[in-house]
Amino acid sequence: MALLYIRDELNETWIPCVGELGDIPNVSISAAPTNGAALVYDTVSGKWIDGTAVATGGDWVDIPPESPSAYDDEFDDGSLDAKWTWYNQSYLDTWDEDTTKEDCLYLQHPGWDSTRWAILYQACTEGSFDLRTKVSWGGWRGNYTRIGLFIGEATPGEFTTILIGYDEYPRIRVQHFSDPNTWAEHLADIEFNGNKMYLRIGYDGSTFRFYYSDDGRAWTELYHTSSLGFTMGSIGIGIDKIFYPVGYDDSVAVFDWFRVSV
Ligand SMILES: [Ca+2]
Ligand SMILES: [Ca+2]
């Protein structure tokens, strides 16, 4: 029989689920199961997940949700889903949904053509939402290379992104663009020397919040605003690398999944 563990977020430990659960902060468990399985409620994602999935103390944020939204993509079936539309895909930009390694989406952007952000987007005008992705670098990075998560106008026009990127030094940054080719303003940033990050944008009907996390569970808010300055019409992911001469290595964004709660 698999042993179920419960995550104690306050003490950052896994607690074996034997006997009485007691009052453990931030988690709850379903009624006694009849089939040997158990459901654990993850207060971070707001979803019930199969308790056996965390039996080894694993990283359950990487387990697909039981009820994915129509916007979700696990990037695990070998082809780019029809729900995505490219913006600024030049003949140089390629994608690879690699099912032979980690079931990730690789966006490769040489960057020495005239475009800036190469973007994959979906139309979205939801009143409130929670948008998350897991992203890492898969190639070269230098000044003005960026990979990130965004919300924007339709097609997508003006947009605001939370990204991991490089500008004199490596950063996590919230940035506003007038359009995918035109930078507008820096809104917030911190130094970040890592390679992998979870990024999140939430809107509760009154405030837009931009978060990052190194484990996908404990989130740090980097920026919030009550007004984006534009009307939201799209959500998506992208990679930016501008005007490096031929000879620099390609820049590659590796997205593991894209999940949306509305
Ligand atoms: Ca796919
Ligand atoms: Ca995946």
For residue 199, report the distance from its CA to the centre of ligand 2, in Å.
15
Give the integer Cα–Cα distance in Å for 136 and 197. Answer: 6
Name the pTM for this structure: 0.79
- The pLDDT assigned to 257 comes to 94
For residue 32, report the distance from its CA to the centre of ligand 2, in Å.
31
Give the integer Cα–Cα distance in Å for 211 and 214. Answer: 11
CA-nearest of 126, 135, 158, 125 to 73 is: 135
Q: Give Rg (Cα) of the chain.
A: 19
Kindly state the helix (H) or strand (E) to which residue 8 belongs, with its residue range: strand 5-8
Give the integer Cα–Cα distance in Å for 203 and 190. Answer: 22
Q: Where are the domains of the chain?
A: 5-62, 85-261
Neighbours of ion ligand 1 (CB under 5 A): 77, 81
Average pLDDT, the chain: 81
Give the integer Cα–Cα distance in Å for 211 and 225. Answer: 12
- The pLDDT assigned to 23 comes to 46
Token code pair at residue 181: 């080719």
For residue 112, report the distance from its CA to the centre of ligand 2, in Å.
29
* DSSP character string of 178-230: EETTEEEEEEEEEE---SEEEEEEEE-SS-EEEEEESSSSS-EEEEEES--SS
The residue with greater pLDDT, 65 or 92, is 65
Task: Answer for the pair 96, 124: CB distance below 8 angstroms, yes or no.
Answer: no
Q: Nearest 5 degrees, angle CA 168-CA 173-CA 178?
A: 100
Residue 28 has pLDDT above 60, yes or no: no
- The pLDDT assigned to 211 comes to 98
Average pLDDT over residues 29-58: 52
Residue 17 banded pLDDT, cuts 50, 70, 90: low
- The pLDDT assigned to 234 comes to 97
For residue 173, report the distance from its CA to the centre of ligand 1, in Å.
28
Token code pair at residue 38: 């158990």
For residue 83, report the distance from its CA to the centre of ligand 1, in Å.
9
- The pLDDT assigned to 44 comes to 57
Number of H helices, E strands in the chain: 0, 19
Give the integer Cα–Cα distance in Å for 60 and 98. Answer: 21
Between 2.60.120.200, 3.40.190.10, 2.30.30.110, 1.10.10.10, what CATH number should domain 85-261 receive?
A: 2.60.120.200
- The pLDDT assigned to 216 comes to 87
Which one of the ligands is nearest to 102 CA? 2
Average pLDDT over residues 211-239: 94
26-43 as b/e: b if 16+ CB within 10 A: ebebeeeeeeeebbbebe
For residue 100, report the distance from its CA to the centre of ligand 1, in Å.
13
Assign 3-class secondary structure to 13-59.
Answer: EEEECCCCCCCCCCEEECCCCCCCCCEEEECCCCEEEEHHHHCCCCC
- The pLDDT assigned to 120 comes to 95
Give the integer Cα–Cα distance in Å for 171 and 16. Answer: 37
- The pLDDT assigned to 60 comes to 64
